[in-house]
Amino acid sequence: ATLWRGVIREYADRLPTLAGAPVITLQEGGTPLIPAEHLSSLTGANVLVKYEGLNPTGSFKDRGMTAAISVAARNGAKAVICASTGNTSASAAAYATKAGMACAVLVPDGKIAMGKLSQAIAHGATLLQVAGNFDDCLTLARKLAEAYPVELVNSVNPARIEGQKTASFEVVDALGDAPEIHCLPVGNAGNITAYWKGYREYHRDSEQPGPATRLPQMWGFQAAGAAPIVLGHPVDEPDTVATAIRIGNPASWKQAEAARDESGGRIESVTDEQILHAHRVLSSREGIFVEPGSAASVAGLLQAAEAGHVPAGATIVCTVTGHGLKDPQWALRNADGSDVTPTRVPVDAFTAAQALGLDG
């Protein structure tokens, strides 16, 4: 059997800007596209979930980071820097370690999930908690990368988009065609930009011999408290339980609008309540554990279905971007907001059976 070799080697012919770079990889990509029976029955569509939490550091960022760090290595970089709501920092720290580079990360003070913070620290990054939000962190990171010998690995780095577009290739390779609709959470808007680029490239090349693919509608979803693209203006104090997408002024704003408009798609907002509901549906009905930000794609799909916007029988892919273990606390709350308290029992089969409802 041939083992999966990571996105750069798997899609080398479609990543010309990576040519000649050393391949710094943790064998990212090749993630499952899981048929979601419950979501399909709720929406009347054929829904599949692209489970990006199964990448090496637990989020889709690894696709972009293998590319960004490989290009940084080609440039002779000794150090990289990023701003992050958590996942980018975890990924940058891991890939920088693999490349033997130093890594500095700027995160919003107190607003990143424990799993992500511990990853960055475990991989030896130098971490600064900035007294500001993600947008402030990105401004600071850009300034530092201009003035000092550190390479910026946020999604404003074009290599990041190149790496992340491979997720679209995988979807088309798995389905034999693009889906009719692709749903994504939107934060800094790099990922929707990357997916749209990937779909367009497969579509363009279908003129020549090779896979003939359609173009999907791109449906992006922001958290209601951090929905600048929906509102049409930056949000100064973004706020949402989905800390991954707590962003008020996305760097790829224009590209996200282009993806929406060129594809005939939509960018809408979903409330924290809808996000946590979708999070629960994924874990309790589909067996897929994600972090809250990831659930925005599914929350948005359910919202669109309720509004009657989902065509019957359409093939729809929802990307869920990060693993549930990144930010597990949300699973320990009941739907009414109260804490889950595990039932305690003595070492006794009869009592345990009763507590489990096995007594008939």
Residue 235 makes CB contacts below 8 A (sequence gap 6+) with: 225, 226, 227, 228, 248, 249
**Complex with ligand F0G: residue 6 or 53, whichever CB lies closer:** 53
CA angle 291, 335, 47 (to 5 degrees): 55
194/203 Cα distance (integer angstroms): 14
Q: Does 293 bind ligand F0G (CB under 6 A)?
A: yes
Out of 294, 300, 315, 317, point to the residue binding ligand F0G (CB under 6 A): 294
Residue among 187, 225, 238, 300 that touches ligand F0G (CB under 6 A): 187
**What does DSSP assign to residue 16?**
G
In whole angstroms, how large is the CA radius of gyration of the chain?
A: 21
106-145: which residues touch ligand F0G (CB under 6 A)?
A: none
CB-nearer residue toward ligand F0G: 46 or 83: 83
Least gap, CB of 96 to ligand F0G (angstroms)? 15
**Smallest separation, CB 222 to ligand F0G (Å):** 9
The answer to whether 85 contacts ligand F0G (rule: CB under 6 A) is yes
The correct pick among 56, 108, 163, 190 for binding ligand F0G (CB under 6 A) is 190
Positive/negative CA dihedral, 326, 10, 286, 305: positive
Please name which of 321, 332, 345, 344 lies closest in space to residue 91, comparing C-alpha atoms. 321
Residue 160: partners with Cβ closer than 8 Å, 6 or more residues away = 64, 65, 67, 68, 153, 154, 190, 194
Using CB under 6 A as the binding rule, whether residue 322 contacts ligand F0G is answered as yes
* DSSP string computed for 197-241: HHHHHHHHHTTSSS-----PEEEEEEEGGG-HHHHTS--SS---S
- Provide the minimum distance between the beta carbon of 91 and ligand F0G in the complex, in angstroms, as a whole number: 8
For 29, 42, 58, 175, the CA distances from 167, given in Å and listed in that order, are 7, 25, 15, 12
**Binding range to ligand F0G, per CB under 6 A, among 12-20, 21-29, 189-197, 333-341:** 189-197
186 binds ligand F0G (CB under 6 A): yes
- Nearer Cβ to ligand F0G (24/186): 186
C-beta closer to ligand F0G: residue 46 or 55: 55
Least distance from ligand F0G to the Cβ atom of residue 349, Å: 42
Binding status of residue 86 toward ligand F0G by CB under 6 A? yes
Rounded (5°) CA angle 134-218-182: 100
Among 189, 275, 288, 304, contact with ligand F0G (rule: CB under 6 A): 189
- Does residue 300 interact with ligand F0G by CB under 6 A? no
Helix 272-281 vs helix 296-306: crossing angle, to nearest 10: 100
Smallest distance, ligand F0G to C-beta of residue 185, A? 4
**Could you say which of 31, 57, 155, 213 contacts ligand F0G (CB under 6 A)?**
155
Q: Which helix (H) or strand (E) holds 10?
A: helix 7-10
The footprint of ligand F0G (CB under 6 A) covers: 59, 61, 84-88, 155, 185-191, 244-245, 291, 293-294, 321-322
